[in-house]
Amino acid sequence: MSNNTPTRGPGHFVAPLEETPLVAVDAIKLDERKSNLWIDAWRDMRRRPMFWISAVIILLVIFVAFFPTLFTQVPPNDDCQLANSNGAPTGEHILGFTKQGCDIFSRIVHGTATSLSVGIIVTILTTVLGILFGAFAGFYGGWLDSVLSRAGDIFFSIPYILAAVVIMSVFSAYRNVFVISLAIGIFAWPATARVLRAEILRVKQSDYVMAAQAVGVSNFRILLRHVLPNSIAPVIVVTTISLGAAIVAEATLSFLGVGLPNSTMSWGNDISAAQVDLRTAPQTLIYPSLALSITVLAFIMMGEVIRDALDPKARAQR
């Protein structure tokens, strides 16, 4: 680098160039694999046993809900004999019998569809309402935000279980899966809306939103293309966890006697019917409760895994 021996003053130290070879300024170093938030999150998730455990349980539950007859040949209602009331397990009836003498395992298997449907319908409802309210309130702000947020606050201030009890009592003639889902969902969405609104308020400050405005992208398109995709991560976490909560809510309502009619098979109904015999025949209560707990736990665990994977701070600490 020097033509002549450069004059080096006293105490002037220069490292040999070989020690730290110069690299081009701002050289581009690309990983083999592409990377963005979702790709990274997926890579992170699939390394965790918790993800696989909860995924397998969730898939199993869904499978059972769609094809109950693959898991049990015993009809859940038609074959009930009072002679078997609260009976112990026998060869074909692996979990024993209910008070009515029906097969517990078969009832759990056939009740899966009901519980899961309530969970899914409630989740769809709360997510759609939550996204609509949260997105418009957060993105457009001003009076629209005031109106939507206050509306959300009103719904939020009423415990959704209480509200659902009231609704189900009023519409006692129309007790079915849709009505109960509606009753739960209509008061459960403000949580989603709040989470999304807060995230949108943060994201809409980004320079890329301003850059898009400066290009002339319409507001609605900015919301759809830039703001929503970058704000949706916490909503997914909330949604996954609330799916579990909705299943619990259905069980709670059925347990209280304002849920689904007794003729509809659901875990909640079975738990409700079993309470009188808790001391004499605990299995009638334990098995449907276990099915409920494991399912709900799987959804909550999945939510936690997704949250960890999407939160870069949590990831940096590992």
Residues that bind another protein (CB under 8 A): 1-2, 6-15, 17, 19-20, 22-26, 28, 30-31, 34-39, 206-208, 210-217, 225-226, 229-230, 317-318
Please tell me whether residue 26 adopts helix, strand or coil conformation.
coil
Closer residue to another protein, CB minimum distance, 2 or 263: 2
CB of 288 to another protein, least distance (A): 42
Spatial contact of 86 and 97, defined as CB atoms under 8 Å apart = yes
Query: Across the strands, what pairs with 97?
Result: 103
Closer residue to another protein, CB minimum distance, 2 or 280: 2
What distance in Å separates the CA atoms of residue 283 and residue 277, rounded to the nearest whole number? 9
| Angle in degrees, 0-180, between the axes of helices 104-140 and 267-274, rounded to the nearest 10 | 120
CB of 54 to another protein, least distance (A): 23
Closer residue to another protein, CB minimum distance, 78 or 207: 207
Phi and psi dihedrals of 103, rounded to 5?
A: -75, 120
> Within 13 Å, how many C-alpha atoms sit on residue 317's CB side?
5
What distance in Å separates the CA atoms of residue 229 and residue 234, rounded to the nearest whole number? 11
CB of 50 to another protein, least distance (A): 18
Spatial contact of 191 and 156, defined as CB atoms under 8 Å apart = yes
CB of 305 to another protein, least distance (A): 18
Please tell me whether residue 179 adopts helix, strand or coil conformation.
helix
Closer residue to another protein, CB minimum distance, 175 or 226: 226
CB of 210 to another protein, least distance (A): 6
Alpha helices in 46-93 (DSSP H): 49-66
CB burial of residue 313 (10 Å; 0-12, 13-18, 19+): exposed
CB of 40 to another protein, least distance (A): 8
Closer residue to another protein, CB minimum distance, 203 or 260: 203
CB of 27 to another protein, least distance (A): 9
Closer residue to another protein, CB minimum distance, 82 or 314: 314
Closer residue to another protein, CB minimum distance, 228 or 296: 228
What distance in Å separates the CA atoms of residue 76 and residue 106, rounded to the nearest whole number? 5
